[in-house]
Protein backbone atom coordinates (compact mmCIF):
# COMPACT_ATOMS: atom_id res chain seq x y z
CA UNK A 1 0.00 0.00 0.00
CA UNK A 2 1.46 3.31 -1.05
CA UNK A 3 0.73 6.36 1.06
CA UNK A 4 0.77 9.91 -0.14
CA UNK A 5 2.61 12.53 1.90
CA UNK A 6 -0.49 13.65 3.77
CA UNK A 7 -1.42 10.10 4.77
CA UNK A 8 2.12 9.32 5.88
CA UNK A 9 2.19 12.49 8.00
CA UNK A 10 -1.15 11.53 9.59
CA UNK A 11 0.05 8.03 10.51
CA UNK A 12 3.37 9.29 11.85
CA UNK A 13 1.53 11.79 14.04
CA UNK A 14 -0.78 9.01 15.18
CA UNK A 15 2.24 6.90 16.14
CA UNK A 16 3.70 9.74 18.18
CA UNK A 17 0.44 10.57 19.95
CA UNK A 18 -0.33 6.96 20.81
CA UNK A 19 3.27 6.33 21.95
CA UNK A 20 2.99 9.26 24.38
CA UNK A 21 -0.42 8.06 25.59
CA UNK A 22 0.95 4.58 26.25
CA UNK A 23 3.94 5.99 28.16
CA UNK A 24 1.63 8.15 30.30
CA UNK A 25 -0.68 5.21 30.97
CA UNK A 26 2.27 3.02 31.93
CA UNK A 27 3.31 5.69 34.42
CA UNK A 28 -0.19 5.87 35.87
CA UNK A 29 -0.35 2.10 36.14
CA UNK A 30 2.94 2.03 38.05
CA UNK A 31 1.70 4.74 40.43
CA UNK A 32 -1.52 2.85 41.11
CA UNK A 33 0.33 -0.42 41.65
CA UNK A 34 2.60 1.27 44.18
CA UNK A 35 -0.45 2.59 46.05
CA UNK A 36 -2.07 -0.85 46.06
CA UNK A 37 1.11 -2.54 47.30
CA UNK A 38 1.42 0.03 50.08
CA UNK A 39 -2.21 -0.46 51.09
CA UNK A 40 -1.84 -4.24 51.09
CA UNK A 41 1.28 -4.03 53.25
CA UNK A 42 -0.58 -1.79 55.72
CA UNK A 43 -3.55 -4.16 55.86
CA UNK A 44 -1.26 -7.16 56.36
CA UNK A 45 0.55 -5.41 59.22
CA UNK A 46 -2.78 -4.53 60.87
CA UNK A 47 -3.99 -8.10 60.44
CA UNK A 48 -0.79 -9.47 61.99
CA UNK A 49 -1.12 -7.10 64.95
CA UNK A 50 -4.74 -8.14 65.50
CA UNK A 51 -3.74 -11.81 65.29
CA UNK A 52 -1.09 -11.29 67.96
CA UNK A 53 -3.59 -9.58 70.27
CA UNK A 54 -6.14 -12.32 69.66
CA UNK A 55 -3.57 -15.03 70.32
CA UNK A 56 -2.48 -13.29 73.52
CA UNK A 57 -6.07 -13.04 74.74
CA UNK A 58 -6.59 -16.75 74.02
CA UNK A 59 -3.48 -17.65 76.01
CA UNK A 60 -4.50 -15.47 78.96
CA UNK A 61 -7.97 -17.03 78.99
CA UNK A 62 -6.56 -20.51 78.47
CA UNK A 63 -8.73 -21.16 75.43
CA UNK A 64 -7.84 -22.52 72.03
CA UNK A 65 -7.15 -19.98 69.32
CA UNK A 66 -9.88 -20.82 66.83
CA UNK A 67 -8.23 -18.68 64.16
CA UNK A 68 -5.05 -20.74 63.89
CA UNK A 69 -6.55 -23.60 61.84
CA UNK A 70 -8.22 -21.06 59.52
CA UNK A 71 -4.96 -19.17 59.14
CA UNK A 72 -3.11 -22.35 58.22
CA UNK A 73 -5.70 -23.12 55.53
CA UNK A 74 -5.44 -19.57 54.13
CA UNK A 75 -1.67 -19.80 53.86
CA UNK A 76 -1.96 -23.10 51.98
CA UNK A 77 -4.39 -21.68 49.38
With contact defined as beta carbons under 8 Å apart, do 11 and 3 qualify?
yes
- This prediction's pTM: 0.65
Would you kindly state where each structural domain of the chain is located, as residue ranges? 30-77
Mean pLDDT of the chain: 92
The per-residue pLDDT for 68 is 81
Mean pLDDT of 28-57: 98
Q: Is the per-residue pLDDT at 77 higher than 60?
A: no
The pLDDT value recorded for residue 1 is 79
Question: What size, in residues, is the chain?
Answer: 77
Average of pLDDT values for 44-69?
94
Top pLDDT among 72 and 65 is at: 65
Chain Cα centroid distance, residue 35: 7
Amino acid sequence: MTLNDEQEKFYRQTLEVTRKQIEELNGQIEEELAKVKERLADLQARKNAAKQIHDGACRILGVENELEPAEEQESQE
